[in-house]
Chains A and B, each alone.
Chain A
């Protein structure tokens, strides 16, 4: 196992380098520098600013400096938020984004698995079609439609059930209060619930038709044991390899969700950076997230091999 992990980590380094250089050079060929303000600066000041940000050096050297700093975990200064470094901004947004994403993925796995298993157990019956229709809905309707519409229903119009007001705040973080988190987390989780339920349904149907389940039934095990101890273990395996793509999708979704609900996470800094042409900020977030996704794919692969005895570590 250890050689496999080491080999995979070594394999991830070139991928990361590709990402860094791609992001770096795309930013550098951009027309217009980050300091092209409306007010023209005196040439000496402009020169000093450029020197301070190493922009006066040749591009290959800039690249080496940037990579060297990255190796020490330094993403460089933010071009627009003058007193902050990119690292500080990411650090500030990370708890919010992490809490949001983690809650969403837990919710998605929980509900997605339940729906998928129920659908598989009632294959081609009403329940199955119902679940798959919901899944189709979740896959088709994008986050930036569900978010405002749910906000409209639960936030703006407000709902009351048996006299209890169950309306929710339309935005804001409020230090991560549960009421503020409900809508963003649901919106973020909905597409993943849909995809996971489809995934689990497919693999559960395949597993339930396999020989060893028939054997388990034939030797008289109760239905619950067959399901929980034998079928679920194999049926949930595809979920593990879906972990990487799921997190990537959640990160993409969080861009929209943080924007709509006004949450101070990384996604919002990223979008602000993109709109303000804050190159270091955009680059820093892309590299940070890419590294995170690569790491998660790695973890998922290793986990899959640990859980599935049919796959070896070669």
Chain B
């Protein structure tokens, strides 16, 4: 009767050792990988600064975004290297002034507000529609799934930005509708991703293993299905935001987006492009801010994908 005793002792020892080993969750792992990615970290810092500047825009400059000053029309900033410009704005016009004497620094930041807000809101609209649609299709499966995905295929083949343009024409550039429309355009890929994940997860071995080891349906969904769907969804959302910002700016550039005196990067770039021969700063600063933000968002998206995709480990 010695054997059981030693087994028990071994067991105790093993349990003790097991307690020493702290399991690392998917998220801890992902965070470590993300922090190791320099481009993503730098992008997050830069993006954070741009966002903070956008939020606190009214406090950063003595000028209001819509106050017109005809004494400084299309004036360059103090430090502009080209000395042949017509006039010098001076004062706190760090980015110079636009064609009717409004401060470009404040307007660029207000453009950031609109662009970022539209980007976030429209991405959430697309997230909501895409996840609901994709999860439903994947969960129900069969004929209904086939039909639902066929519909997505049909929509995929459309030049969708044209329909957003029609919407803006029909409803007269409503700001609320703008991001709703863009969000409604961008949900297709999201739906495909979520549906694919749901479908493939249902039959995965590790789900079967969890079920075999007696895990309840609830805990399988909470601990295995959701984390595995959330990863790709988060990645796709971060990549949707720049796409949405682009779409909004594209519309604004064509004169179909946000209306005066409010502004967005697309509008500012359009105005800048019209004035670039006499006042290149009107083009350069908004273009720079927008490009920087898009770069950051793309790098963060790529970083998140590398961090969250366990296959690439």
Contact = CB atoms under 8 A, between A and B. Distances in A.
Interface of A: 14-15, 18-19, 22-23, 26-27, 29-31, 136, 139-142, 144-145, 147-149, 151-152, 156, 244, 248, 251-252, 255-256, 259-260, 270-271, 274-275, 277, 282-283, 285-286, 289-290, 293-294, 297
Contacts of B171: 30-31
Contact of B283 (A148, A283, A285, A294): A148
A92 to B, nearest CB: 19
Given A30-B170, A282-B165, A144 B157 contact: no
B193 interface: no
A293 B277 CA distance: 37
Contacts of B250: 142, 144, 252, 256
A145 B291 contact: yes
A307 to B, nearest CB: 21
B298 A27 contact: no
B86 interface: no
B166 A259 contact: no
A20 to B, nearest CB: 12
Given A145-B287, A152-B280, A286-B166, A140 B295 contact: yes
Contacts of B294: 140-142
B284 to A, nearest CB: 8
A26 B158 CA distance: 16
B162 A151 contact: no
B119 to A, nearest CB: 14
B96 interface: no
Contact of A148 (B273, B290, B295): B273
A15 B298 contact: no
Given A142-B250, A274-B256, A156 B165 contact: no
B158 A19 contact: yes
Contacts of B168: 274
Chief secondary structure at chain A's binding surface:
helix
B157 A293 contact: yes
A145 B266 CA distance: 9
A29 to B, nearest CB: 7
B113 to A, nearest CB: 19
A18 B170 CA distance: 18
A290 B276 contact: no
Nearest to A276: B169
Nearest to A137: B295
**Which of B249, B254, B269 gathers most chain A CB within 10 Å?**
B254
Contacts of B276: 148, 151-152, 156
A293 B154 CA distance: 12
Contacts of B187: none
B130 interface: no
A31 B269 contact: no
Contacts of B269: 144-145, 148
Contacts of A31: 170-172
B24 to A, nearest CB: 27
A149 B298 contact: no
**Which of B166, B249, B291 gathers most chain A CB within 10 Å?**
B166
A148 B165 contact: no
B166 A282 contact: yes
A256 B283 contact: no
Contacts of A156: 276-277
Given A30-B170, A147-B273, A297 B254 contact: no
Interface in B125-174: 154, 157-159, 161-163, 165-172
B159 A248 contact: yes
**Which of A27, A29, A140 gathers most chain B CB within 10 Å?**
A140
Nearest to A294: B157
A29 B171 CA distance: 9
A14 B163 CA distance: 18
Nearest to A278: B169
A238 to B, nearest CB: 16
A15 B290 contact: no
Given A19-B158, A282-B165, 19 more contacts: A18-B154, A22-B163, A26-B167, A27-B170, A30-B170, A31-B172, A136-B295, A142-B246, A142-B250, A144-B273, A148-B283, A149-B287, A252-B161, A260-B273, A270-B165, A271-B255, A274-B165, A274-B256, A294-B157
Contacts of B169: 30, 274, 277, 282
Nearest to A298: B157
Contacts of B172: 31
A293 B161 CA distance: 13
B254 A255 contact: yes
Nearest to B167: A26
Interface in B246-294: 246, 249-250, 253-256, 266, 269-270, 272-273, 276-277, 280, 283, 287, 290-291, 294
B298 A140 contact: yes
Nearest to B255: A275
B183 interface: no
A149 B281 CA distance: 11
A259 to B, nearest CB: 7
A194 B294 CA distance: 15
